Amino acid sequence: MFSEEPRTPTHVWLEAKIRELSQLGIGVYVTQKGEKMGGLVLLKLVADRQNTKLLTQQRDLDGVMGWVNVFQDDVIEEMKADEYIARAIQRDPDLWVVEIEDTEMKNPFIVA
């Protein structure tokens, strides 16, 4: 029998990470609140208007959640990211969108 391990609700781990980043002085904003228990997250990492990364959550073949670039180009213009986000929210209103201002555009959800 297949049993899925319990997952932490999206809003719980997001709120914890947002508090942590805020305490470090990193600008972090939730621009779209999604489904509290299981909504997926789009992560917009902004260095400036010309340098933005857009990451989304995706499960690998073993079912482990990870992060992948939405676009083939690692770094895109912010306007291109915003256009994609608007379309994504129309398709999936349960989606969370989190924007982080970081000149190095590091994903804070990946533990090194």
What are the pLDDT digits (tens) for 53-101?
Answer: 999 998 888 888 889 999 998 999 999 999 999 999 999 999 999 999 9
The domains of the chain, with CATH numbers, are 30-101 (3.40.1530.20)
Mean pLDDT taken over the chain:
90
Can you read off the two tokens belonging to residue 94?
């349960």
Can you read off the two tokens belonging to residue 92?
């999936």
Q: Give this prediction's pTM.
A: 0.88
Q: Which long-range contacts (CB under 8 A, 24 or more apart) does 23-29 make?
A: 26/100, 26/101, 26/102, 26/108, 27/100, 27/101, 27/102, 28/98, 28/99, 28/100, 28/101, 29/98, 29/99, 29/100
